[in-house]
Structure 1
Amino acid sequence: MHHDDFNFEPVRGLPAALPPDEHILWQGAPSAWRLAREAFVMDWVALYFVLVAVWRVGVSSTLVSVSVALAHGIPFLVMGLVACAILYGLAWMQARSTVYTLTNKRVALRIGAALTMTLNVPYVQIGNAHLQTRRDGTGTLAFETIGDARISYLMSWPHVRPWHIRTQPALRCIPDAARVSEIFAEAAEARVNRPQVAPVQQPIAAE
């Protein structure tokens, strides 16, 4: 039987139903493999254990035969595989529980594997956007917010732009990032440049 952990959502990825004048332009989620490599630094962890294994084999080869020395490096490689499997599992859970949404009015990020929350960032509160792409087409689209709104880095990680003091929420490690950035740019431009019509008070006629 299919079980959806988020079947209480009126709209997938959003905490409430959309108003009549708002509609979804795009929805997606991070690539678990790319998220494991970038956010959970799986590549660096793998490299660390490989270097430790090589060092252990090198040291052992000065005392025992090469075949025995090679066997001394195997436990470190096994530990590296286990560590990488754990990191990938964490990234997979993050990717599975995440839904990124672009509407004609805002960016919404439903995030959190254990404690789920939704970040809503209206286009009028975004000053700049930054796109970083990889050769495989995946990339991260980050947003510089303006105004007094503050977003917690720890609560939002890994769905933030790394190494920035002011938290920048981000669509992290998304496939076809260039196309998503175009959708965002068109929607944000249309929303920000939309003329605002203010009611005009009619002068009171003198009796």
Structure 2
Amino acid sequence: MSEYDHEPIRGLPEALPEDEHIIWQGAPDWKQMAASALHIRLSLFYFAIIAGVALTRGDPTTAAAMVAFALLVTAFFALFSYGVGRTTVYTLTNKRIVLRIGVALNKCINIPLSEIETANLKMLSGDTGSIVMTLKGMPRMGYIMLWPHARSLRFVRPQPMLRAIPDARKVAKSMFDATSAMQPIAQIDDAVSVPSTEGLPA
């Protein structure tokens, strides 16, 4: 028996009203999640630098310890990202976006399309990308509650996101069309406003 067996529709806590229908459902690509949200490449580079410095100083013990730490961290990040990919369901309907998230404790977050102020698409590798949303006046969501489905370092006004989703341009277009039917919204496009130094709008 799965903890999601109670869902009347996959990814949704309750059945949809008659005037609401699903446009798209998807989940993060866990490998891209590890690279973008957890910055696994940066972690490996960090440990590699320390190991390299230790070797140049004639300290193979420290170098070996850093390699072991790197393998441990990589395994943990990969396992966590895999869990996120398996348990997350993003749902776009003609009225809202629902984030079913949480590896240990699952929760559903409803974002009405009428509450989206702007949405930006950040392409990653291949057709994978992330869509970052800026919301209007709906109750503020906690960064910890959202993470890793939130833009990095936006603690005061967290920005929820659909992270590392395949076929991201098509999803962004569907989201734009659905939101435009509810209210005007800025065109979803590659997010030039997101600093490239972050690697990803998280």
Partner of residue 28, structure 2: 30
Partner of residue 115, structure 1: 105
C-alpha offsets along residues 141-197 of structure 1, whole Å, 9 cap, x if unaligned?
A: 01111114211111111101223231111101111111110010011111227xxxx
Partner of residue 178, structure 1: 169
Counterpart-to-counterpart distance in 1, 2:62 and 2:8: 56
Partner of residue 130, structure 1: 120
Q: Over aligned residues, Cα RMSD in angstroms?
A: 1.7
**Structure 2 counterpart of 1:147, which letter?**
G
Contact 2:124/2:164 (<8 A) preserved: no
Q: Which runs of 5+ in 2 are unaligned?
A: 185-202
The TM-score normalised by the length of structure 1 is 0.83
**Structure 1 counterpart of 2:165, which letter?**
I
Counterpart-to-counterpart distance in 2, 1:23 and 1:158: 27
Offset of residue 72 of structure 1 = 6.4
Q: Which runs of 5+ in 1 are unaligned?
A: 62-68, 194-207
Offset of residue 5 of structure 1 = 3.1
**Structure 2 counterpart of 1:13, which letter?**
G
* 1:57-68 → structure 2 map (5 Å cutoff): 57-60=55-58
Q: Which has the larger radius of gyration?
A: 1
Offset of residue 80 of structure 1 = 0.7
1:7 maps to 2:8? no
| One of 157, 174, 179 as aligned partner of 1:188 | 179
The TM-score normalised by the length of structure 2 is 0.85
Aligned sequence identity (%): 37
Please identify runs of 4+ aligned residues in structure 1 that moved more than 4 A. Answer: none
Contact 1:140/1:173 (<8 A) preserved: yes
Offset of residue 36 of structure 1 = 1.0
Counterpart-to-counterpart distance in 1, 2:170 and 2:130: 12
CA distance 1:25–1:148, shift in 2 (3 Å): closer
